[in-house]
Structure 1
């Protein structure tokens, strides 16, 4: 019995922070395989696969080492007027990581964790947001979204990524 305990202590454990960094790396690989957003110019894009649920991607900022974007569907929460679900993402090109900084899936972060949450609750929330992002990206890949389905579009004045006119993303 003591031999098993000693062996178990030698196996390094992954901290919650380490797990979060792993999620960031996995999500980066998934997002880059799907849309290669690191090389997309700023602007709005729509991925259509014919299921009536278009994915909207708005590249907000492109910098040398980071990109910021918003992903959502054309669905709007009737209570808030916000795209639901939606995720704000920050890509770190040099570190090959994607961080979901904000997610909206029916509730705002303040409603989920409070205005002044302790650090542990913030870490837990980030783990949930980035797990959600990973599952969403996996779902999008399984449904057939990708560079072949992505078209550049105008963004409406509501900032929700409403398509005005579309053209292929590589144009």
Structure 2
């Protein structure tokens, strides 16, 4: 048996759910470095770096073990009027994980996977959403967004709270 084959046999295989939990942990670390949400009170924050693409971070609700957020650009979709792209996020403080619970990137989740998708399709969709979130957070950091560029908080419009 070759050394590579022996090593491969000893390494545990990561299933899709384990991979998803890893994405949540990576996104939590990125988000913490970027916006330090533990210090933010409920309200709307805007990150302005002067490129015309301001980022809005809504701290919708704070709970003992979780925080509900929405991350979006300050520009609406011309067809729907909704911010696009936009991601609703849930921070799990004790587990140190950040989950994109749902995203709007031109389409709603029901349009993408249907109303009653099989479990494997749900996991796949969550993997795509959270992979997108990780790449978006990296992009925002590269552009210069972060705690130093946040302005706010302002009152969150009622429409945002009703959508969550």
TM-score above 0.5, yes or no: yes
Corresponding residue number in structure 2 for 1:141: 141
Aligned to 1:95: 95
**More helix per residue: 1 or 2?**
2
Question: What residue number does 2:46 align with?
Answer: 46
SS of 1:91's partner is: strand
Residue deviations 1:115-154 (CA, integer Å, cap 9, x gap): 1100000000000000000000000000000111001043
Structure 2: gaps of 5 or more residues:
none
- Give the secondary structure class of the aligned counterpart of 1:87: strand
Alignment of structure 1 residues 40-79 onto 2, 5 Å: 40-79=40-79
Distance 1:155 1:84, change over 3 A: farther
**1:156 to 1:25, Cα distance in 2 relative to 1, 3 A:** closer
Q: Gaps (5+ residues) in structure 1? A: 161-171
Separation in 2 of the partners of 1:51 and 1:3?
A: 52
CA distance in 2: counterparts of 1:60 and 1:26, whole angstroms: 22
Aligned length: 161
TM-score (norm 2): 0.91
Separation (CA, whole Å) in 2 of partners of 1:87 and 1:97? 15
Deviation at 1:2, TM superposition (A): 7.5
Deviation at 1:86, TM superposition (A): 0.2
What TM-score do you get using the length of structure 1 for normalisation? 0.87
